[in-house]
Amino acid sequence: MDDTMKVEKADIEDIDSLVELRLDYLIEDNGTIDKNDAEIIREALPDYYRTHLNKDLFAYVIWEEKTIVSCAFLLVIEKPMSPAFINGKTGTILNVFTRESYRRKGYARKIMDVLLGEAKDMGLVTIDLKSTDEGYSLYRSVGFRDDHSKYHMMKWKNQ
């Protein structure tokens, strides 16, 4: 891993870059995005970032020149306490993404190491993420395990 990689937290000045990075991630993850959906996201996402960035959403990034080449988002959620998350503080990792020409060089690992260290400092008890096959070994190597539970993962979608 390159020791010159510097992980930073994005801030308000980085919103335009974060919007484009999110869209690039979504296009790669989904294969394509409907033009109307992309426009809705492009228009609404800056307000979301202004409201949440560095409050309950933390965007960890690595820059090369003037371009973010790798990122990961940590969404911090406070829930009513339970034995599974005794202080109620949990997290969800989203949008782990490295631009294609920078992949397999340690960028995502460096970001995950910093992100998880800060998550510990924040007192997060658990962190969830959904992994693609490509990211699975990375997440295992930094301490994530498959979540086997008596509960079924389910989703409701407003159509």
Domain extent listing, the chain: 7-141
Tokens of 69: 């080449």
pTM: 0.91
Mean pLDDT of the region 76-95: 93
pLDDT for the residue 3: 59
What's the CATH class of domain 7-141? alpha beta
21 burial level (CB within 10 Å; 0-12, 13-18, 19+):
buried
What is the layout of strands, in order, in the sheet containing 7-9?
A: 7-9, 57-64, 67-78, 89-98, 126-128
Compute φ and ψ for 77, nearest 5 degrees: -125, 135
User: What amino acid occupies position 133?
Assistant: D
Per DSSP, 31 falls in state S
117/22 Cα distance (integer angstroms): 23
The answer on pLDDT for 1 being more than 80 is no
Distance between CA 155 and CA 24 in Å, rounded?
A: 24
As a whole number, mean pLDDT of residues 121-142 equals: 94
Tokens 């962190």: give the residue: 127
Contact 73, 14 (CB under 8 A): no
Percent of the chain with pLDDT over 90: 84
Does residue 78 have a pLDDT over 70?
yes
Q: How far from 51 is each of 54, 55, 71, 77, CA to CA, in Å?
A: 9, 8, 19, 15
Mean pLDDT throughout 68-75?
A: 97
